[in-house]
Amino acid sequence: MQVNLSPVRMDEQLTLDREGDVLYVNGEAFDFGPLLEGATLPWGAVLSDWFPGTVDRIDGELHLTIRLPHGPNAPYSTRFPEPIIVMEDGPVDLPIYDEEPEPAPEIPVAMQEEASANE
């Protein structure tokens, strides 16, 4: 299964689990087993906002796109992700949702006092 990721800033997080041709998106099952070789489910055929594109079966393998939510401080690898090739059943490793922002540098007390004096 090839999972292309479409990053989007949103607070809801995502979990994916694979079980054969069934993909669980946040616990909801989507069974693509009936999709025949060379067939395509057009955008909108999968009744979920998580699928912003087509679902195809190419050479026996499912190809699909999933929205990838991320936080305001998501790393580059999350905002511009590589496709994921899922070979085994179980949880799918997804890019990091968010990172802690770097703290603002502390201003030494002497500089704070100087800035106050100049106002």
Report pTM: 0.79
Mean pLDDT, residues 90-117 taken together? 74
Q: Report DSSP state, residue 72.
A: T
Please give the DSSP secondary-structure letter assigned to residue 27: T
pLDDT at 70 over 80: yes
* Cα separation, 33 vs 55, whole angstroms: 12
* β-bridge pairing 16-19 and 2-9: unpaired
Q: How far apart are CA 95 and CA 109, in angstroms?
A: 40
What is the per-residue pLDDT for 103?
Answer: 67
The structural domains of the chain, with segments of one domain joined by +, span 2-117
State the average pLDDT over residues 53-66.
96
